[in-house]
Structure formats: structure tokens, C-alpha cells
Amino acid sequence: MACKLTWSPLLTILLLAGMAGISRAGNIAVYWGQNGNEGTLADACNSGLYAYVMVSFLSTFGNGQAPAINLAGHCDPPSGNCNVFSSNITTCQSNGVKVLLSLGGAGGSYGLSSIEDAQSVAAYLWDNFLGGSSPSRPLGDAVLDGIDFDIETGNPAHFDELATFLSLYSVLGKKVYLTAAPQCPYPDASLGPALRTGLFDEVWVQFYNNPQCEYPGGDLQGAWNTWTSSVHVSGGFYLGVPASTAAAGSGYISPADLTSAVLPGVKAASNYGGIMVWNRYNDVQNSYSSQVKDSV
């Protein structure tokens, strides 16, 4: 006996919701470079877990300072032996993983004093890490995919201009991707003006070390909604999470809570991109990304 299908408004809503992609598959981004025991950059990319890896950090730049990279125990920048990672970068890119240099971090000495300073730093980044040329390229000849802004000093001066100058280099050939890692209170004290340029491809918001917008005690969903509706990105927004309780002072979300309680609401944003994990070392220790990847 044939079964007759009765169309209903509810069925229409469910079909439209599916077509609109309300439950979206996302990517994982991770920070690498701050623990010598986390494995190589190639190890991270060969894991199959990540779409973006941020090499962290260029922790000294601007204000007339000689730029300096800090990769913890991975290499010794003054000796020039960090160029060993050039082949790692090309391995990552051959796996479809985008590799970016992250500027700033929680420590270090950095800032921009003027438009001219921003232009000078942009030129340094282009020549030493991107598509330009320099005899002193710290990571070797491999061309990175872009620049990540992890600016945490509270001083936003001229980072909007740095983003603008970097974006202009895309016309010379390979696109320069721009990403940023603001804190979850909106607007971010350090990156507010830069993000208003609309030049960023992906934004991974740090939902940790900020109790007012953390899960479960703070308003994570409200902060997420504000970010995703207030800032234009050409790619997507990522929920930034610590990979373990040791990775941040607060804000750890267990894999079970992330997949069952947090991601369903986060994925409702049309510009949802995935999650960002801080950091690779803690991700290896806790197997965080591998536990949640299928749900992201």
C-alpha cells in the first residue's frame, strides 16, 4: 500500500533550514610555536586536523625596533636556524593548510607609532615572510599565506593602517590572508579599528580569560552574536577555545559541552567558520581537536 506524504508548514521550515545551512561544517585553526615539545610544524599539518596554522609569534616589531620572532624552543632566531621550517611550511601548504605568521601575543614588545611605522612593518613582513625578497628571511624562502593579528596591548593605534598596507600587497600576486584574534568583549580594545576596515578574512575570537563572555558563567552566545553581526569578514568567525585546562586561566569548555551545548547555538550564525584552538601543544596533550573535529 502506498504511503501518502502530507506536506506541512513544519516540513517546509525544516527543509529551508537545511538548505540555508543552519548546521554548518566548520574548520579548525590552531596556534603553533610556543612550546618546543609540541612537535614540528609539519607534524601539525600532517595531523589532518587543521585548516589554518598560525606560527607564533613575531613578538617584537614597530617603534623603531628590530623585528624579532620568538618560537620558544623550536629554534634560535639570532643564529638563523629557524629557516629549517621552510620545508615544513611548503609541506603544510601542499596539504591544503594555510600557514600564517602571528603578530604580537600576550608578551613581547610591539606597537606602531605612526602611519609610516605601519607601512615600514608591512614592507618588512612582505619582504621577510610573504612574497617579497630579503637576505634575512627568518623562516626561509617559503612564502606564508598571510598575517595574523594577535594584538593584546590595549593600544589599537595604526593597526588598521597595517592591515590596509598588507592587503595592498595582494595585487602583486599571491593573496595575503589577514586574520585576527580579538578578545570576546566587544569591541576589542586592541583590534577594534583594524577590524572595522573589513579587510580580514577570518576572525577567531578568544572566548577565554574573559569571564564575562565565557561558558558557562558568562554570556558566550550573546557575545558571539554581537561579533558575528557587527564585524564584516570575507570568510568566517571562529570560536576560540583553550585546548585544555592548562592552556588558559579560564574558559575551558570540555569536548562534550562544546559539541552538545555550545556549538549548536554558535553554528546558527551565517558566517560561522569553525573553532580556533589555543594551542598545538595542549591540543596534543588533550587530543581536543580530534575529539571535536567531526562536530565542528
List, by residue number, the catalytic residues: 152
DSSP E strands, the chain: 27-32, 52-61, 68-69, 98-105, 109-110, 146-151, 177-180, 202-206, 236-242, 272-278
Give the dihedral of Cα atoms 182, 184, 188, 193; nearest 10 deg. 60
Element (H, E) at 257: helix 255-257
Q: Between β-strands 272-278 and 109-110, what pairing exists: parallel, antiparallel or unpaired?
A: unpaired
In this structure, are residues 247 and 207 in contact, taking their beta carbons and an 8 Å threshold?
no
Distance of CA 90 to the CA centre of its chain: 19
What's the rounded Cα separation, in Å, for the pair 43 and 62?
32
Which residues have CB under 8 Å from 60's CB, separation 6+?
Answer: 66, 67, 68, 70, 108, 109, 110
Amino acid at 16: L
Please state the φ and ψ torsions of residue 12, each to the nearest 5 degrees: -60, -45
